[in-house]
Structure 1
Amino acid sequence: MSLICPLCHSPLTLTNRSWCCENRHQFDQAKEGYVNLLPVQHKRSREPGDSAEMMQARREFLEAGYYQPLREQVVSLLAPVLNQSECKILDIGCGEGYYTAALAEAADRDAQIYGLDVARMAIRLAAKRYPAVRFCVASSQRLPFADRSLDAIVRIYAPCNEAELARVLKPGGLVLTVTPGPHHLQQFKALIYREVQLHVPEQKDYPGFRQVAQHALRYPMALTGTAATTLLQMTPFAWRAREDVWQTLQQSEQFSCDADFTLTMWQRD
């Protein structure tokens, strides 16, 4: 295992459903199989992350298949790593485990696939459904993994600490990021803003990494009214939507919009 103590950074060992380090810090494994490695002093709120209701709505949206092409593309791009014996891959900001589970299904039988999220409820839902994945509650700003222990990291819209990514990846390891493409959900924007502006590409540096590939994935979606409102809730511009926008979407038999993603591969020096 590659997990380390979030308090003293010593290796953690699983004994009788408890993760313990040499300094006697102990973290009990939940009955669902995940471990909470987010100390109270590292929390920004009492219960970080989305509510249980939001997580359930997100799961229903994803299971309807609207983001299935993205899921398949993520797995395809990481196939060379997934086929390696005993590879270790981390999905940060994994939520309810939709993409993490696909990685586990495609991976070599001896692979270790980890899912990490700050939201305990999301990890609890994920661990109950996907026992093949090793889930933990933790912050992406303080990754509970040993130095140079991972082969690849997946970052889909999640916040990250670039220095932490460099620390935990092996030399030559990969980071796959997914960010909004220029036209992502532009039809939602048209309902909310007077002028629709294209998404600006993410301006983020990864010191110690070089960009080795970039792919665009764009396709149309035909959403039900319920799916449209759920998807809007998942976006950062939901706060600007007026009540009449929510009502229009909810009452729609079908709402057509574009999914547009940019997938970028970075390699550790």
Structure 2
Amino acid sequence: MSWSCPLCHAPLTRQQNSYVCPQRHQFDLAKEGYVNLLPVQHKRSRDPGDSAEMMQARRAFLDAGHYQPLRDAISALLQSVSPAQILDIGCGEGYYTHAFAALAQRTWGLDVSKSAVRAGAKRYPQVEFCVASSQRLPFVDACMDAVVRIYAPCNPHELARVVKVGGVVITATPGPRHLMELKGLIYDEVRLHAPNDEQLPGFLLVQESALAYPMTLSGAEAVALLQMTPFAWRAKPQVREQLAQKAQFDCQTDFVIQVWRRED
């Protein structure tokens, strides 16, 4: 078992429908099959992460296949390293995670949003889902062959702790021109995304690639895209109304995919 207690960091073992550590901290499995490993004292708000509305918008947009090229590109990278155990950080409702599960013996999905994890666990029983913080990963040391982070923040020292030597971290971040047309509806001055200058201590950057392609969206899909992005907080109600009324909205994607290998 790779779970660790979020309170004392000792390994968790399965006892019927609960996970228990030697200090008797206990975490029950929800009826949907996920486990909540986010103690109250580690929450930054009462209900952190994506709301149910944001999760539903994300699911509708992703199910339409608009980001499938990104999922396929990361799946190909994972397949090339043949990982036995994969962790998807910021997994949301599991669109990417369940595809990765076909490539490994065990796959975990972690997100701080309870509504997203609940939805993922209902739909994808082949994935082991948990509600947890990416700043305090509830896993024992050196247990993961691969970790995937699609837009998700994480404590880099935690990545170094849980990834095996020789294992990989695969990240996907916005490229310079990602969703420029959508940003143009919200901001008076549209700026390119800043280059990703992230460094991961203990890891070596071994591969970087760009993935960019156009999308043709319906008005409803464009609204769903807006709702699942940070731009939603800045968008005026008129922007949503304008998008909803469009028969077609053309928008470009631009992703940067990096592969980092854990050094000895």
- TM-score, scaled to structure 1: 0.95
Q: Distance in 2 between matches of 1:139 and 1:201?
A: 26
With 184-193 and 58-67 compared, the bigger mean Cα shift is at 184-193
1:179-190 mapped onto 2 (5 Å cutoff): 179-190=173-184
Instruction: State the partner residue of 1:15.
Output: 15
Structure 1 residues 177-201: Cα deviation after superposition (integer angstroms, max 9, x where no partner) = 0000111000112222233221111
Structure 1 residues 91-116: Cα deviation after superposition (integer angstroms, max 9, x where no partner) = 000000000000012x14xx110000
Instruction: State the partner residue of 1:64.
Output: 64
1:101 matched to 2:109? The reply is: no
Structure 2 contact 148–169 (Cα < 8 Å) conserved: yes
Structure 2 contact 60–224 (Cα < 8 Å) conserved: no
Instruction: State the partner residue of 1:124.
Output: 118
Q: Distance in 2 between matches of 1:23 and 1:243?
A: 51
Q: Distance in 2 between matches of 1:239 and 1:40?
A: 26
Q: Distance in 1 between matches of 2:260 and 2:65?
A: 27
Structure 1 residues 33-85: Cα deviation after superposition (integer angstroms, max 9, x where no partner) = 1111011110111111122122112111100011111111110111123x35x
- RMSD over aligned CA atoms reads 1.0
Q: Which amino acid is the alignment partner of residue 49 of structure 1?
A: G
Gaps of 5+ in 1: none
Match of 2:148 among 143, 154, 162: 154
Structure 2 contact 35–131 (Cα < 8 Å) conserved: yes
SS in 1 for 2:197: coil
Q: Which amino acid is the alignment partner of residue 28 of structure 2?
A: D
1:43 matched to 2:37? The reply is: no
1:1-269 mapped onto 2 (5 Å cutoff): 1-81=1-81, 83-84=82-83, 87-105=84-102, 107-108=103-104, 111-269=105-263
With 232-241 and 54-63 compared, the bigger mean Cα shift is at 232-241
Q: Distance in 2 between matches of 1:49 and 1:159?
A: 12
Q: Distance in 2 between matches of 1:240 and 1:119?
A: 21
With 237-246 and 111-120 compared, the bigger mean Cα shift is at 237-246
- TM-score, scaled to structure 2: 0.97
Equivalenced residues, count: 263
Please state how far the C-alpha of 1:134 moved relative to its aligned partner.
0.6
Q: Which amino acid is the alignment partner of residue 85 of structure 2?
A: K
Q: Distance in 2 between matches of 1:251 and 1:37?
A: 42
Q: Distance in 2 between matches of 1:235 and 1:30?
A: 28
Structure 1 residues 141-181: Cα deviation after superposition (integer angstroms, max 9, x where no partner) = 00001111110100000110000000001011100000001
Q: Distance in 1 between matches of 2:237 and 2:111?
A: 31
Q: Distance in 2 between matches of 1:195 and 1:103?
A: 38
Q: Distance in 1 between matches of 2:232 and 2:115?
A: 22
Q: Which amino acid is the alignment partner of residue 237 of structure 2?
A: E
Q: Which amino acid is the alignment partner of residue 184 of structure 2?
A: A
Give % identity. Answer: 62
Please state how far the C-alpha of 1:242 moved relative to its aligned partner.
2.5
